[in-house]
Amino acid sequence: MKLYLASSSPRRAHMLADWGIPFSTVKADVDEVMLDAAPENCAAQNALAKAISGSHHVDAGLVVGVDTVVTCDGRILGKPLDEAQAREMLASLEGREHRVITAMAAVLMPEKTAAARISITRVFMRRLSEHERQAYLSNPEYRDKAGAYAVQGLAASFIERTDGPMDTIIGFTMSDFYALCTELHADVRR
């Protein structure tokens, strides 16, 4: 069965390629929402909207949409608009725990059957020196990342410990992907 990823994320594409899973990407015309609702609900709603949007470009196959949000004190930290906002986000995360939520939804075509999964990882970020913070923000890595950091990149040294799947933080929880494939009876390994 053909797999379609409704995401432009190079991280997600790289993970699938590393696992040897053939796929194509499809466009998902979705404006992500950051509602005042529970962060898990926002991530799930965004992931499902992406999968549904992507399914409009597919006759047959499995379309997967994913959304990752970072939350601290119940507040969603989206992608920073600029360096100043990224600095504020990092300051709110330093020296404490926050949660990274990755929701994944899949739509099986042509049946239009859908399923979703949510994974949560608790992340403990250490305090940063002003020099570390400035050095990190001088690199463009933070620009398209929820919470203004990428755990698989330069910010890896900021993380003291995690409780939950590391791939949830990266933005594509492989165990959830395989659970969705099983639930929808979609064999995408061929």
Catalytic residues: 67
Residue 84, classed as helix, strand or coil, is helix
Residue 130, classed as helix, strand or coil, is helix
CA distances in angstroms from 159 to 49, 51, 123, listed in the order given: 31, 31, 7
CA distances in angstroms from 155 to 16, 67, 95, 166, listed in the order given: 22, 20, 14, 14
For residue 151, give both structure tokens. Answer: 């755990």
| Mode of pairing for the β-strands spanning 159-163 and 113-125 | antiparallel
